[in-house]
Amino acid sequence: MPQICFYFQLHQPYRLGNFNVFDLENDTDYFSGDNEEIFKKVSRKSYRPMLTLLLDLIKRHPEFKFALSCSGVFIEQSLEFEPHIIELIQKLVKTGRVEILAETYYHSLASLYSEKEFELQVKQHGAVVKELFDYEPTVFRNTELIYSNYVAYQVEKLGYKGILTEAVDRYLHGRDRTKSYLSNTDKPLPLMLKHAPLSDDIAFRFSDKNWPEHPLTVDKYIKWVEIYPEDHSVNLFMDFETFGEHQWEDTGIFLFFEKFIEEFSKKSYNKFVTPGEEVSKLDLTYLDKYDVPDPISWADVDRDLTAWVDNDLQQDCINKIYELEPLVLKINNKELTDQWRRLQTSDNFYYMCTKWSNDGDVHSYFSPFDSPLEAYRRYSIVLADLVIKIDKENQPQQKVDN
């Protein structure tokens, strides 16, 4: 029986309001969408019941442990709309069996476009995690598990001890996804790879009645896990909203997870591990390298960046937002900088995705907009307004004649 590593991602973006051309230069709030309503709905269905269940399972099963990653924009909305969520996470961290992972504060794609901005956002995230949870992360997970050799190079410079990412067959070359690897960098870092089939059996297929393995039972799932050797790690990485939001309570998802932890814990040789524990015990001498020259992610069947940068709409917006970096930072206006960084959140570009087939269905499900074109319309108008603000701030002050 291999060990199991659970990691759950907590993230909610700031969604754009119905901003139009008549709002230009009117100081209208960009993020006046249904953020509070959505956050409270997801909190009621997912965050509260699942965090409560996790705390109960930790109390009942001394060997149970896992990792959480909370984006900065998730933390901001928790503090504003549902502070009880932060209190529950604080209780979990205080048990000593919950690891908090490092990431970009704004759940951004900065690692692909600006090394400086990436570093600033990671440090900003680390500061808020230290302040709220009295915890200093040692392992990094990038937005949407985006990874490449260049991303590893940036993370290594920031002093982290390991990275989580996706297991992509075109770079594994037939090797096991249940083993740890090394980054292909001058100073290699250990990498833990997501087991996509077993993770997605819970996250995406659990309630799919057309899935040949439906219904997924605990006994069946444990058998699938048990096929791996003792020295392997089954890394189950998924969105926290899997529990209660993507898979509703009436599917039995909470009961499934609770029973799985109970049954897995009954066997003394079974083991849970956190990412930090795993990377700290690895002997790097015997690890193969995971060479990833082109970025990968955990999104869609392609496991690449096409969810965010595939079409002209996405490329137009993302290039413009990062072109503004020197102008925004020169102004040094906290409110303006925060608006610019919220617009970097990867969800904004995800909503513009025009991929079809099953991937397109997933994108449509997660988007608050009627279409990718509507997502682009709102974003581009907001971006135009932001540029107007920046231009005004950067105009030289005219001297007043005495």
pLDDT at 365: 57
Residue 225 shares a structural domain with residue 330:
no
pLDDT at residue 400 tops 50: no
Secondary structure class of 5 (helix, strand, coil): strand
For residues 277 and 320, membership in a common domain is answered with: no
* Between 161 and 396, the higher pLDDT residue: 161
232 and 366 belong to one structural domain? no
Q: Which of 162-171, 306-315, 366-375, 382-391 has the lowest mean pLDDT?
A: 366-375
Domain final residue pick, 240, 259, 290? 290
220 plus 313 within the same structural domain = no
* pLDDT score of 361: 52
Neighbour count for residue 174 (Cβ, 10 Å): 5
Q: How many domains does the chain have?
A: 2
Answer yes or no: is 74 within a domain: yes
Instruction: Write down the H helix ranges in 99-190.
Output: 110-113, 115-133, 149-157, 169-172
pLDDT at 183 over 70: yes
Q: Running DSSP on this structure, what letter comes out for residue 184? A: S
CATH number (domain holding residue 24):
3.20.110.20
Whether residues 278 and 369 fall in one domain: no
**Average pLDDT value over all residues in the chain:** 94
Which of 223, 330, 206, 308 lies closest to 257, judged by CA?
A: 206
Q: Could you tell me if residue 146 is inside a domain?
A: yes
Q: Both 259 and 318 in a single domain?
A: no
176 and 200 both lie in a single domain? yes
Determine how many CB atoms are found less than 10 A away from the CB of residue 267.
11
399 belongs to a structural domain: no
Segment (H or E) for 89:
helix 83-94
**59 pLDDT more than 60:** yes
The fraction of the chain above a pLDDT of 70, given in percent, is 96
Q: In this structure, are 201 and 263 located in the same domain?
A: yes
- Find the angle CA(368)-CA(122)-CA(273) to the nearest 5 degrees: 90
| Interstrand relation of 139-141 and 162-166 (parallel, antiparallel or unpaired) | parallel
The pLDDT of residue 399 is 45
Range of the domain at 38: 3-290
- Same domain for 246 and 339? no
Domain match, 353 and 231 both: no
Longest dimension (CA), the chain: 86
Across 68-82, 340-354, 383-397, least confident range? 383-397
Catalytic positions: 144
Out of 258, 290, 322, pick the residue that ends a domain. 290
| CA–CA dist 83, 85 (Å, integer) | 5
Question: Is residue 169 in a domain?
Answer: yes
Query: Which of the listed residues 257, 290, 323 is the one where a domain comes to its end?
Result: 290
Q: What mean pLDDT is predicted for residues 126-130?
A: 98
Q: Could you tell me if 294 and 112 are in contact, meaning their C-beta atoms sit under 8 angstroms apart?
A: no
161 and 275 in a single domain? The answer is: yes
